[in-house]
Amino acid sequence: MMTGMLNEVQILSEHQQRVWSVAWNPSGTLLASCSSDKTVRVWGKEGEKWVCKTVLQDSHTRTIRRVAWSPCGNFLASCSFDATTCIWDKRGGEFECTATLEGHENEIKCVTFAPSGNLLATCSRDKSVWIWEVDQDHEDYECASVLSVHTQDVKQVVWHPNKELLASASYDNTIKIFIEDDDDWICVSTLEGHESTVWSLSFDKTGDRLASCSDDRTIKIWKQYQPDNQQGILTVGNHPTWKCVCTLSGYHSRPIYSLHWCKLTGLLATASGDDCLRIFKEDTSVHDASNEPAFQLVASQNKSHNEDVNCVAWNPKIPGLLASCSDDCEIKLWNLNDG
């Protein structure tokens, strides 16, 4: 039963081509967006309206696929189909591109900072995940590891919220989990279950669960089980096992390209090629909610955009404020009225 409603707050429509990604800064006061128009735009609030504060351009020669903020909020990373990642430093007041990271063979699909700020991860159509060490001044980025365990294009990488563990999603239908081991990074788990490309991943606030969405039009919830767990789930060595504990299907009619698990409310937002947004809430009244969780659709926005919705992002400080972006060149801000 749907109890909530998504109310459109504002449309931001200055990008000239499809908008691939939106990302809030850690304080929730700025929204970065990136586009096939080769620009990054940074939006901020003036009075009651969100306005474009800055346009970052001339550093990428092709589509900019994703943007990500550092945990301190002073740096913004952008990655592109031109196979480079740019680091923008705003400590001087204006954004300045202070580093360009090269090494991937072709299109970079995602970039993300670790919660410590000391590591950066990128992934690419070249099937690899790169982990970069960041020096204290963010002036030097050194490649610490190249992980080539996926057999196809890697679509997204996400860090665990409070430890140095990385998850990746791929066109090979799998999710991989990486940790550091004796100064090198290794793959400790492969999560299999999706029947087509895995597009997006999001940890819950504890990091014990991971949500994934796919071209197969399903959302899966994976739970981490530690060695010697009470449920008798088998583990290998001293590494946890990730098990799919819930599958949500029938809510989208086309591939699900993005999902984001809100750290404030626990709500899960999804975006799809069917132009729709869906919001799910966990039903904590079920018998074994820990090991057999259930989620209910609480809000739905059909035709949220005129074309594919590529990304959704919850504001980290304002409960219910959601940003979405689309092939229709627009960014929309929504407020969830949770009934």
For residues 319 and 290, the answer to whether their CB atoms sit within 8 Å is no
Q: Give CA–CA dist 321/203, Å, rounded.
A: 19
Closest CA to 18 of 327, 305, 257: 327
The predicted-structure confidence for 117-140, as pLDDT tens digits, reads as follows 999 999 999 999 999 999 877 678
Determine the average pLDDT of the residues in 212-226: 97
Question: 336 pLDDT exceeds 80?
Answer: yes
Q: Give CA–CA dist 222/212, Å, rounded.
A: 8
Residue type, 155: K
Q: How confident is the model at residue 232 (pLDDT cuts 50, 70, 90)?
A: confident
Q: Give CA–CA dist 12/35, Å, rounded.
A: 13
Q: Kindly state the percentage of the chain with pLDDT values over 70.
A: 99
Tell if the pTM clears 0.75, that is, is over it.
yes
Per-residue H/E/C for 176-195: EEEEEECCEEEEEEEECCCC
Q: Give CA–CA dist 174/231, Å, rounded.
A: 24
- DSSP letter at 149 equals -
Q: How distant is the alpha carbon of residue 97 from its chain centre?
A: 23
Determine the average pLDDT of the residues in 253-266: 98
The predicted-structure confidence for 154-177, as pLDDT tens digits, reads as follows 999 999 999 999 999 999 999 999
Hey, which bits of 73-230 come out as E strands? 75-80, 85-89, 96-101, 108-113, 119-124, 129-134, 141-147, 154-159, 165-170, 175-181, 184-191, 198-203, 209-214, 219-225
> Environment class of residue 232 by beta-carbon count within 10 Å: exposed (0-12), middle (13-18) or buried (19+)?
exposed
* pLDDT of 136: 78
Reading the block at residue 135, the tokens are: 């020096």
Contacts by 94-103 with C-beta closer than 8 Å and gap 24+? Answer: 94/54, 95/42, 95/54, 95/56, 97/56, 97/59, 98/138, 98/139, 99/138, 99/139, 99/140, 99/141, 100/59, 101/132, 101/141, 103/130, 103/143, 103/146
* pLDDT of 6: 96
* pLDDT of 182: 86
> Environment class of residue 103 by beta-carbon count within 10 Å: exposed (0-12), middle (13-18) or buried (19+)?
middle
The predicted-structure confidence for 267-301, as pLDDT tens digits, reads as follows 999 999 999 999 999 998 998 888 999 999 999 99
Determine the average pLDDT of the residues in 220-244: 92
Q: Give CA–CA dist 252/254, Å, rounded.
A: 6
Query: What separation, in Å, do the N-terminal and C-terminal C-alpha atoms of the chain show?
Result: 11
Q: Give CA–CA dist 66/87, Å, rounded.
A: 12
Question: 317 pLDDT exceeds 90?
Answer: yes
- DSSP letter at 160 equals -
Q: How confident is the model at residue 143 (pLDDT cuts 50, 70, 90)?
A: very high
Determine the average pLDDT of the residues in 28-47: 98
The whole-chain average pLDDT of the chain stands at 96
Q: Kindly state the percentage of the chain with pLDDT values over 90.
A: 90
